[in-house]
Homo-oligomer: A and B are copies of this chain.
């Protein structure tokens, strides 16, 4: 894509109300725009990153056997009354439509997926199965803050699994924990993301949060100094010792929750009367698990972890483009070579942002490139062309090197 055509401009100045590094960098680099507190637009560059995060998650969910569906945002009040959450969930947005009909704006979908499953699950032969969606959720957070880390409207992947017995649920749950670790690894936050023991509510002793360690986080996790497992604040307050190795020393870290997995058991199948007939024809309740990831949270956490004083440093798999092609000195030879490189590299399916602007200085272009954080920067100038080369610099490294034009596509692939 041509940078001059890009709908968004970078901003040099920090915004006054920037509540976190990720908010500040994503706004200044033109990835997101804040419409109001806790509500954002994804601009073209931000949308590209979002699509790549979505693509990783979709791939992994399909591999885990999930079937993709799309459930509605508008939920009937009755379903939320059935689980008691119409009154108990304080973040629930409620909407009154014409004819005094009342709806909830879905903050999660147990109240929809459970009665849906009831329509199609009859016998043990229909189990196990799982469905997921990547869909916009709503939470009326009184204090929406930390930029895109805590918002009122956000994209979430929610996955629901259905099982005939506890051991099947347990096995699947453990498999999903591994799938989650792989997703966060692919998104570039694997090292900083801890599977963290959390309270499980009424139906299992524990659930697990996936917490990414960053100073911008509003959560705190406790990492056992001996066995390195992490527990959340609630578990820490209940336990003086590590639940695994009984050690009593913990390292305290600030973190942001990017995902969570729960064994719901019969918590939602019971109120919706979701049952199946086993091999002997006996009716039993279906056991459920649910597995969430916040896409905006992942994107924000990546930026919190992966940046320097000049801007964002995108991990390769979720970067909006693979390479940022910059021409400096607008001589005919430079223009012609840069234009040709742009065309040739795209033909090889390398995604290129081409800064072809002629009214910007080299300094301005480099500053934009550092702010936007595309993994490779390719500079074409009279000097580099004297050696049939371009200057290639990785965003994460400090030094550049000359690379023969012929070699370029091989390195970028």
Contact = CB atoms under 8 A, between A and B. Distances in A.
Given A7-B129, A131-B7, A142 B98 contact: yes
Given A35-B76, A112-B35, A69 B98 contact: no
A350 interface: no
B33 A116 contact: yes
Interface residues of A, number: 46
A47 B70 contact: yes
A142 B99 CA distance: 8
A317 interface: no
Looking at A74, A99, A129, A131, the one whose CB has the most chain B CB atoms below 10 A away is A74
A41 interface: yes
Nearest to A109: B41
Contacts of A168: none
A65 B86 CA distance: 44
Contacts of A181: none
A75 B35 contact: yes
Interface string A61-82: 0000001111111111000000
Nearest to A50: B70
Contacts of A76: 35-36
B93 A95 contact: yes
Interface of A: 5-9, 33, 35-36, 39-44, 47, 50, 67-76, 93-99, 105, 112, 116, 119-120, 129, 131, 136, 138, 140, 142, 152-153
20 contacts: A5-B67, A5-B129, A7-B120, A35-B72, A36-B74, A39-B72, A39-B74, A41-B69, A41-B72, A42-B69, A43-B69, A44-B67, A47-B69, A50-B70, A72-B153, A73-B136, A74-B153, A93-B95, A95-B105, A97-B152
